Structure 1
Amino acid sequence: MHKRLIQVSGFLISTLGWLFVLCTMAMDFWRITQIGGQGGSFIIKVAWYWSNLWKDCFTDSTAVTNCRDFPVLWFVQGVRGLLMCGLTLGFFAAILCFLGMECTYLGGDEQSKDKMLFAGAVFHFVGGENKRTSLGVP
């Protein structure tokens, strides 16, 4: 019973972490800066600059948005590739961990389930380190 509780809680934590990283990849507003709106001006002009991993955008007070995709820089392409590799490894890790848990009836005997669970844990670790390295986190 204690082993199953640890496996289920570890599976939920790791899979939710993978899901949150996947959601942040789809978000547009990674960095937002407000420009303008300073006092002493007769015309109030406010603009927002926002960017993510894919593009830079500028929105003015009339709600006109101008976006510029990042050019082909090898560093940015490398970061994108590492993030996609990390997310792919995390996806396969979630499947392997689900099949390798003791409480599921899929995956075969106990020894093969332990091997699948270990492989899933290694995939989660490698995928997580891959995402941390690409984002510049020490």
Structure 2
Amino acid sequence: MDPIVEVVALVLGFVGWVMVGVSLPNRHWKTSTVDGNVITTSTIYENLWMSCATDSTGVHNCREFPSLLALSGYIQASRALMITSVVLGTFGLVAALIGLQCSKAGGENYVLKGRIAGTAGVFFILQGICTMVAVSWYAFNITQEFFDPFYPGVRYEIGEGLYIGWCSAVLAITGGICLTCSCKLGTEEKYPLQYQTRGTVYSGAAPTRSVAASTYGRNAYV
């Protein structure tokens, strides 16, 4: 595998991991604007942890969700998936730094380093899948409530935090696929040894001492 491809995959995985960390605390997972006059116009936005509101003067107030058990199931699941994504990305970065061919960590066993790089790729792919499921599930509920004519609550729209999460998932999955392809599952090449014989080798029982002596005597006087 080309070391340049491995480095590019590591960079993609790292950027995806950073973007997960940016998306997780981002306050704008869903937003809604309440229209009014210049003074009463306000914007309401939420994420996985709190609900905030701001008015036209720039004053904003945030309130954390009071109870975990009182939250909707998809919010709890999205929290767990995003935290799992950060953990998997951390494991993937550590494994990738060890498994790269240009890295001195792990010695000179390139077969083992290739397998470690493949494991890092799996971690990155799982990170991307967790992020993709979390943000897509959250966005699905936003759109379902928005287009429901009988929904009595505030109608939200998709916020910037979800777009950051989608970009993070795509980058992590792309980097993970590149690292997984660099995994060397084969064994080291074994070259057969070529034996060259200088003469003809005959197999058989060794002649006895008397036979050898008698043969020598006949040949000596012929």
Same fold (TM over 0.5): yes
Q: Which residue is 1:57 aligned to?
A: 52
Alignment-derived partner of residue 35 in structure 1: 34
Alignment-derived partner of residue 121 in structure 2: 121
Partners in 2 of 1:6 and 1:64 — Cα distance? 48
Count of residues in Structure 1 that have an aligned counterpart in Structure 2 = 133
Shift of 1:33: 2.9
- Partner Cα separation in structure 1 for residue 58 and residue 16 of structure 2: 34
Alignment-mate amino acid for residue 116 of structure 2: M
Partner of 1:96: 95
Q: What RMSD in Å do the two structures reach over aligned CA positions?
A: 2.2
Following superposition, the deviation at residue 64 of structure 1 comes to: 4.2
Residue aligning to 2:178: none
Residues of 1 paired with 2:72 and 2:44: CA distance? Answer: 24
d(CA) in 2 for partners of 1:74 and 1:44? 33
Deviations 1:28-84 (A, max 9, x none): 22333332244xxxx742212111121111123454433232332262222101110
Q: Aligned equivalents of 1:74 and 1:31: distance in 2? A: 15
Q: Give the distance between the partners of 1:79 and 1:52, measured in 2 at CA.
A: 10
Please give the TM-score of this superposition, normalised by the length of structure 2: 0.54
Q: Is the contact made by 2:10 and 2:93 (CA closer than 8 Å) also made in structure 1?
A: yes
5+ residue gaps in structure 1? none
Structure scoring higher RCO (CA < 8 A, sep ≥ 6) equals 2
User: What residue number does 1:135 align with?
Assistant: 135
Between the two proteins, what is the percent identity of the paired residues?
A: 26
Q: Answer 1 or 2: which has greater strand percent.
A: 1
Question: Unpaired segments of 5 or more residues in structure 2?
Answer: 141-222
Q: What is the TM-score of this pair, normalised by structure 1?
A: 0.83
